[in-house]
Chain A
Amino acid sequence: MIDLLSYGAFFLSVALSYAIICLGLNVQWGQTGLFNVGIAGFVAIGAYVSALLTTPETVDHLGGFGLPIMAGWLGAALATGFATFLIGALTIRLRADYLAIATFGAAVAIHLCILNLQSVTSGPFGIGFIPRPFANLADRPLAFSLANFALLAAVVLALYLALEHLARSPWGRVLRAIREDEPAALALGKSAVRFRLQAFALGGAIMGLAGATQAHFIGYIAPDNYQPILTFQVWAMLIVGGSGNNRGAILGAVVVWGIWALSGSAVASLFPAEQQARAASLQIVMIGLALCAILLWRPRGILGEARIMSRHVLRRSPPATPLPSTPSET
């Protein structure tokens, strides 16, 4: 029973760390319509920045500054936000899919830098001994898992509340206006480029924070954690849950991570050891087909986009008569 509880807390903690990435992606894609194919790269920046800031001093790689965990998380969010800003500034004025290509390239370049800049990142060996929150509880596994789960849940809740508030704020409404009808938003004097860039950098900063929380939760990071498959999983999560909806982003992360973990254990129990690497590729095929199927048949996802209006509109009484839409009006 205790094992089960402990596993449950572990499972949900991992799922929630993905939920944070999803919330970041939702700011970029769900609310602003910016297509980021480099999620893995931005998560990696956050993870490495936080790891370098918080690990004890060492000769294996740069720093080891031994800062507190919170400083690491903050640094991760800031550094990733800045990196995302640079990529965005380069492409956000151009056609929509240039951003996709540029972020894809950025992820490749970041992965390569992490692999090759051994004096900074210790290369393919990765970084270990990343301080874990509540390390003083480590000898009591249940309390340790629950404490970590509570911490991640608190982070997700805080982000959720902040993002919901932002989505209802004038800033969030401008973002949706730009996404839905750019000429109209421009006519109202809103700079589409600047708002897009802000949203892109904010989403990137949240992804960096997610990378940092993941790194501290696991305690070890390596370049191969940040492959395109991570980007793909996060996209599947947001699309399944419902893009444009923060609750959908969190729900999608839990559902897709659940399916992923279940299919992973099914592969482990059904296939002999030497076939498992091969069978694991079927997991990806399955998620890929699911993503395409949802795009085809239920583009809104489970929850669909939340209908968000200004709280000032909600406070007023509803309009007495629905707007007539008869052709005679023209």
Chain B
Amino acid sequence: MTPQVLMDGLIAGAMIGLGAIGITLTYSILRFSNFAHGEFLSWGAYLALAIASGLGYLAGGPASPIGPFSFGWTLPVATLLGIALTAGLALLVDALLFGPLRNRGSAVIILVMASFGAALTLRSLLEFIFTSKPVYFTNALQIARPLGGGLRATPDQLLMLGLAVVLVLAIHLLLTRTAIGRSMRAVSENRQLAGVAGIDVRMVIRTVWIFGAGLACVAGVMSGLLVQIRPQMGLDLLLPLFAAAILGGIGSVPGAMIAGLIVGVAEAMTVQLIGAEWRAAVAFVILVAILLLRPRGLFGRPE
């Protein structure tokens, strides 16, 4: 096994971690496991792709690459717009489906089931609009550069790793140091009491969707840039996302990111040691192990 495995694992893990933050936030604040979260990743990637192609068309041809990276100015702009649109999609799903169910006081498990229905609807819509053929942000090939110590990475990969770290720190500071973060933690402790104490619970719920979906869009774009974009990508990532959220401890943002990195490295090691065809089983094994040994996760509080 080479150190390169660690590098590949960290890069894939950063993506999983960003997605898992959304799951852990919805789980701890809205109190249900959202099976539709993977679809926010796919929709984010496709939305960014559509906007980037649209911008490229308006600008008359694809934008020339920025510095050492494989993409031009259109992709960062498209990602920002994609974040807004993905957040809008999440708010729309909440307004149409989860909100009415929540207001009616439906059981948690009804919300989970509804998210399952929403997931298949959203994924099949993508398949209808974009077909199931994989697509790419750019066709440019990037050469991995040596980083010393036998490690190699492409500039895109390093950028994504850095971006993930910055985003996690930002969300963590936001949750621990700002008024909205305090409100979010209060609602996650006790929604009724928080409402009585004058916290705008609906505003907190909207914030959760915006953060979750926004990070999912970034993770989707990362996945699209480093691998490829397919309607199934969200479904394939769903199990690693859940494994990371539970391993990190529900409600813990840094925990979700660290657990995401662990899942990513474990997957990369499995590919190296056992074979690529067993990659998808890694998340399940981690999930089973964590449920057996420490159901509250690494950084979670006991129920």
Residues of A whose CB lies within 8 Å of any CB of B are 33, 35, 37, 90-91, 94-98, 100-102, 104-106, 108-109, 112-113, 115-116, 228-229, 232, 235, 239, 277-279, 281-285, 287-289, 291-292, 295-296, 299
B116/A235 in contact, CB under 8 A: yes
The 10 closest A-B pairs by CB, nearest first: A288-B121, A284-B124, A291-B117, A281-B127, A105-B284, A281-B124, A97-B33, A109-B284, A288-B120, A281-B128
In the complex the two chains form, what is the Cα distance from A209 to B46 in whole Å? 41
Residues 245-263 of B, flagged 1 when their CB comes within 8 A of A and 0 if not, give 0100000000000000000
- Taking A37-B35, A37-B116, A108-B239 as contacts, is the C-beta distance between A90 and B97 under 8 angstroms? no
Q: Which residues of the other chain, A, contact B106 by a CB distance below 8 angstroms?
A: 295, 299
- Taking A109-B281, A278-B128, A281-B128 as contacts, is the C-beta distance between A232 and B116 under 8 angstroms? yes
A101/B246 in contact, CB under 8 A: yes
In the complex the two chains form, what is the Cα distance from A229 to B97 in whole Å? 21
Partner of A94, one of B125, B278, B295: B295
Residues of B whose CB lies within 8 Å of any CB of A are 32-33, 35, 97, 100-101, 106, 108-110, 112-114, 116-118, 120-121, 123-125, 127-128, 131-132, 235, 238-239, 242-243, 246, 277-278, 280-281, 283-284, 287-288, 291-292, 295, 303
Q: Which residues of the other chain, B, contact A235 by a CB distance below 8 angstroms?
A: 113, 116-117
A102/B291 in contact, CB under 8 A: yes
- Taking A97-B32, A100-B112, A108-B239 as contacts, is the C-beta distance between A116 and B277 under 8 angstroms? yes
Q: List 21 A-B contacts (CB under 8 A).
A: A90-B291, A90-B292, A98-B246, A98-B295, A104-B242, A105-B284, A105-B288, A108-B239, A108-B281, A112-B280, A112-B281, A116-B278, A229-B120, A232-B120, A278-B128, A284-B124, A285-B128, A288-B117, A288-B121, A291-B117, A292-B118
In the complex the two chains form, what is the Cα distance from A101 to B112 in whole Å? 10
In the assembled complex, the CB of B193 is this many whole angstroms from the nearest CB of chain A, namely: 21
A-B contact count (CB 8 A): 120
Q: Which residues of the other chain, B, contact A97 by a CB distance below 8 angstroms?
A: 32-33, 108-109, 112
In the complex the two chains form, what is the Cα distance from A98 to B246 in whole Å? 9
- Taking A37-B35, A90-B292, A100-B33 as contacts, is the C-beta distance between A105 and B287 under 8 angstroms? yes
Interface of chain A, main secondary structure: helix
In the complex the two chains form, what is the Cα distance from A186 to B108 in whole Å? 21
Residue of B nearest to A115 (CB): B277
A278/B131 in contact, CB under 8 A: yes
In the complex the two chains form, what is the Cα distance from A283 to B124 in whole Å? 9
Q: Which residues of the other chain, A, contact B101 by a CB distance below 8 angstroms?
A: 295-296
B280/A108 in contact, CB under 8 A: yes
Q: Which residues of the other chain, B, contact A299 by a CB distance below 8 angstroms?
A: 106, 110
> What 18 new A-B contacts, CB under 8 Å, besides A101-B246, A285-B125?
A35-B113, A37-B35, A90-B292, A96-B109, A97-B33, A97-B109, A97-B112, A98-B295, A100-B35, A100-B112, A105-B243, A109-B280, A115-B277, A116-B278, A228-B235, A277-B132, A287-B120, A292-B114
In the assembled complex, the CB of B90 is this many whole angstroms from the nearest CB of chain A, namely: 15
B120/A228 in contact, CB under 8 A: yes
Partner of B117, one of A229, A282, A283, A295: A295
Residue of B nearest to A231 (CB): B116
